[in-house]
Amino acid sequence: METLKLDKATLALIDAAARMEPTPDLAGRLVSMVDLTSLEDNDTPEKIAGLCRDALTPIGPVAAICVYPRFVAQTKQALAGTGVRIATVIDFPRGDGTPEDVLRETEKALEAGADEIDLVFPYGRFLTDSPPPASKNIRAVREIGGYDIRLKVILEVGAYPDLESLTQASKVAIDAGADFLKTSTGKTTAGATLEAAAVMLTVIAESGLPVGFKASGGVREVPHATGYLALAESILGEGWATPETFRIGASSLLPKLLAAV
């Protein structure tokens, strides 16, 4: 991902965010913004049960737990009444399904109890300008779920040849009804970067809409998470980031955050 197209002011914000020192208060705040995630092919009910236990930390619950659709009913039952939201992935990880595919997957996930949908943006179609329009996949989720669910659109930032195309994809996602822009699936070699996050956060700011941001894919250390939080608030305002507007998708990060509190 090129950084030369970013202006000096944005590059300065990125540099400051990268150098932000984690503090116990920041670490504790970030715990409440974690989407505790397991999306491995070898996931088992036993592993997911452990994940559900981990979601209820000594300092409070994480924001959500994100699992494959086949584990949604299990997590819903295990975390009932805790405040932890149940997220699942749709058209994952390639984003190459049709709007009809997305609608069917989403309907099943919602029937199983999902509160949040993390939908992979059809970046392949978008980049080749192939029909149907990428926005139709996003609108398919809205058609079946309405606005009672939280829709996070995974842009897969490493797929774009330049910052301009990532900017345009971000705008398409917001215009089609995304509640959150999310960086990555975690299934490609190029995951989240502060440069890509700056682009997405700027588009969110310019939209004037209540759209959140989620960093995922390679966010494994406390300084990484702190950097994304600092960058988000430098662009969208101090105190902007809450579990309703900001998430970190991670698995191995949570115990490190708890150790830093």
pLDDT by residue for the chain (261 residues), tens only, comes to: 444 479 999 999 999 999 999 999 999 999 999 999 999 999 999 999 999 999 999 999 999 999 999 999 999 999 999 999 999 999 999 999 999 999 999 999 999 999 999 999 999 999 999 999 999 999 999 999 999 999 999 999 999 999 999 999 999 999 999 999 999 999 998 889 999 999 999 999 999 999 999 999 999 999 999 999 999 999 999 999 999 999 999 999 999 999 999
CA separation for the pair 89, 20 (Å, rounded): 31
Q: Report the pLDDT value the prediction gives residue 167, as an integer from 0 to 100.
A: 97
Active-site pick, 118, 136, 152, 179:
118
Which residues sit opposite 120 in a β-bridge?
Answer: 154
By three-state DSSP, how is residue 84 classified?
A: coil
Active site (annotated) includes residue 214: yes
Q: What is the dihedral of CA 40, 45, 50, 53, to 10 degrees?
A: 120
The percent of the chain in helix, strand and coil, each rounded to the nearest 5, is: 50, 15, 35
Q: Give the angle 80-82-88 at the CA atoms, nearest 5°.
A: 65
Active site (annotated) includes residue 148: no
**CATH entry, 8-260, from 3.40.50.300, 3.20.20.70, 1.10.645.10, 3.40.50.2000:** 3.20.20.70
Q: Give the angle 52-55-57 at the CA atoms, nearest 5°.
A: 135
Q: Report the pLDDT value the prediction gives residue 207, as an integer from 0 to 100.
A: 98
CA distances from 24 to 31, 226, 253, 257, 261 (A): 11, 11, 14, 8, 4
Domain residue spans in the chain?
Answer: 8-260
By three-state DSSP, how is residue 119 classified?
A: strand
Q: Report the pLDDT value the prediction gives residue 3, as an integer from 0 to 100.
A: 42
Q: Is residue 119 within 8 Å of 159, Cβ to Cβ?
A: no
CA separation for the pair 102, 21 (Å, rounded): 41
Query: pTM score, two decimals?
Result: 0.96
**Alpha carbon 130 to its chain's center:** 25
Active site (annotated) includes residue 7: no
Neighbour count for residue 78 (Cβ, 10 Å):
19
The enclosing H or E element of 153 equals strand 150-154
Q: Report the pLDDT value the prediction gives residue 189, as an integer from 0 to 100.
A: 86
Per-residue DSSP letter, 162? S
